[in-house]
Amino acid sequence: MKTNTRIIINLALGSFITVGGVVAASSSAQAAPCTDGNVIIAKAGKVTVGTDCDDKIYGTSGNDTIVGSGGDDKIWSGTGVDTVFGSSGDDDLYSGGGADHIDGGSGNDFIMGGTENDTINGGGGDDIMRGEEGNDSLYSYAGANVNDGSDELIGGDGNDNLNGGEGSDSLNGDSGDDTLESHEANPVYDHLAGGQGKDKFAVKDVIEHSHANRDDVDNDNFDFAVTNKNANDTFH
């Protein structure tokens, strides 16, 4: 039985051609028509822009710049040194090889690093960030003193830097000698755990806070002594 499933494959900005029910674009970078389930393939050296619908965007072996735009997108950066912006929507963003920079933008995003030293910003919303391999930097920033949501940051392998920013966050360094930070202008409860390795904690908020709004730190005898802290923070 023959079906006419229509897949949009966008290689760039320009004209579209149809071959066997598959639509391919020709030159520079732009979004395909807005249809949930679009499959968009980036073109190295161009800025690939998704649509306002729910796209699936695939990077290349080159150095890609990918912007998800609206919708709940799934983006795989591929190999190369890539820059990925989820923009609005609840996006799933995956780094492959290469030291990538990934920014979730607004929305409740899931972001997973790859094999190299990635830089990941959750942005606004309640985000989950996983560094995976490499010495990664994971943080959540949506503007100065802006509550960027309740985020979960997991360093993974390597010597990672984690900073939850504003909002009630959970930080876990996992393996490696990690640095975990929480410096809030508007303190709320945060939980920080170093995991394996000799970890550092810097948890002094801008103002003193109540016990309810403390930083709750799981550290052990292998970690550095915590001197950058507030009076009501707890350590165990």
For 37-57, write each residue's pLDDT tens digit: 999 999 888 999 999 999 999
Residue in 66, 34, 39, 40 with CA at minimum distance from that of residue 53: 34
Q: What SS3 class is residue 212?
A: helix
Q: Amino acid letter at 155?
A: G
pTM: 0.86
pLDDT at position 142 is 94
pLDDT at position 15 is 32
Sorting pLDDT into bands at 50, 70 and 90, what band is 9? very low
Percentage of residues of the chain with pLDDT beyond 90: 82
Q: What is the phi/psi pair of residue 68, to 5°? A: -70, -30
Selected residue with higher pLDDT from 166 and 20: 166
DSSP 134: S
Cβ-count burial 66-88 (b if 16+ within 10 Å, e if not): bbbbbbbbbbbbbbbebbbbbbb
Residues 87, 109: contact at Cβ < 8 Å?
A: no
Residues 198, 224: contact at Cβ < 8 Å?
A: yes
Q: Report, in angstroms and rounded to the nearest whole number, the Rg of the chain calculated over CA atoms.
A: 20
Residues 40, 50: contact at Cβ < 8 Å?
A: yes
Task: Determine the Cα–Cα distance for residues 74 and 32; give it in Å rounded to an integer.
Answer: 15
Question: Across residues 118-125, what is the average pLDDT?
Answer: 98
Sorting pLDDT into bands at 50, 70 and 90, what band is 34? confident
Task: Determine the Cα–Cα distance for residues 235 and 228; give it in Å rounded to an integer.
Answer: 12
Q: What SS3 class is residue 229?
A: coil
Question: Which structure tokens are listed for 141?
Answer: 């920033």
Task: Determine the Cα–Cα distance for residues 200 and 194; give it in Å rounded to an integer.
Answer: 8
pLDDT digits (tens, 9 = 90+) for 152-190: 999 999 999 999 999 999 999 999 999 999 999 999 999
Question: Across residues 99-121, what is the average pLDDT?
Answer: 98
